[in-house]
């Protein structure tokens, strides 16, 4: 039986609002499809090689944990960029989503550098938290989830990045744009907790992406 390898980035630090449930749900659907699943926690002082994995998950975290992760994450910038640009599937939630961008600016004006892999940035507004149930329409169908964030994310290149969905209820990326999340190749970013993959439609879609990527690469190095 073939094995799917999943890298869970900073599982011990970035796991708010049930985000680890996304990995458990994917394991279930991959098992149903006939695959064994190996999940590796890639955390502080661990190494990440793009060619070793079929899927990367990056969850959300509290402000302090996110700051710790931001400092360590740059060790993996080149490998993550290779993984993403090769079209391998990745799901990044909330803080993980923000850290793929150029920077996020805190309420006191402090600018914390992100990886700069994707052309987006985030501005924190501590006095206007966006919290509550959320619904948005995606190419996979309607998604229902929960959001709780002060960060407002904006695309800096709207031709390169596409929204994951169009808002029906809630805030999404920010209060102005009416969209939720991001899609670039097979990398998806989202503010949706709950976890998001309790929505069977998007869970099955990402499962199919993972299987297709696994079959395509077949253990080949990610160039």
The two structure tokens encoding residue 214: 């696994």
Which position has the token pair 């309420």? Answer: 107
CA gap 147, 196 in Å, rounded: 10
Nearest-CA neighbor of 62 among 17, 115, 113? Answer: 17
Nearest-CA neighbor of 183 among 210, 205, 161, 203? Answer: 161
Widest distance between CA atoms in the chain: 52
> Is 121 a catalytic site residue?
no
**Residue from 76, 94, 121, 214 carrying the catalytic annotation:** 94
Nearest-CA neighbor of 100 among 78, 75, 72, 120? Answer: 120
**Residue from 76, 121, 149, 193 carrying the catalytic annotation:** 193
The two structure tokens encoding residue 127: 């006095």
> Is 193 a catalytic site residue?
yes
Give the residues across from 40 on adjacent strands: 7
- Give the active site residues: 94, 193
């Amino acid at each position: 039986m073939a094995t799917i390898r999943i890298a869970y980035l900073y599982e011990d630090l970035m796991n708010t609002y049930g985000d680890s449930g996304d990995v458990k749900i994917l394991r279930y659907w991959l098992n149903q499809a006939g695959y064994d699943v190996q999940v590796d926690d890639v955390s502080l002082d661990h190494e990440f090689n793009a060619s070793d994995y079929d899927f990367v998950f990056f969850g959300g975290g509290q402000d302090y944990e996110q700051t710790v992760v931001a400092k360590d994450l740059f060790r993996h910038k080149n490998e993550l960029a290779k993984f993403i640009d090769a079209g391998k599937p990745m799901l990044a939630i909330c803080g993980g989503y923000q850290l793929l961008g150029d920077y996020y600016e805190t309420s006191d004006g402090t600018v914390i550098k992100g990886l700069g892999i994707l052309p987006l940035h985030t501005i924190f507004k501590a006095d206007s938290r966006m919290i509550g149930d959320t619904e948005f329409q995606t190419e996979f169908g309607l998604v229902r989830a929960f959001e709780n964030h002060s960060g407002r994310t904006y695309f800096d290149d709207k031709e390169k990045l596409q929204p994951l969905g169009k808002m029906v209820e809630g805030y999404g990326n920010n209060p102005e744009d009416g969209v939720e999340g991001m899609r670039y190749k097979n990398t998806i970013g989202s503010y949706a907790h709950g976890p998001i993959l309790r929505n069977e439609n998007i869970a099955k879609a990402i499962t199919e992406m993972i299987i297709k990527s696994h079959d395509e690469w077949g253990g080949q190095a990610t160039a």
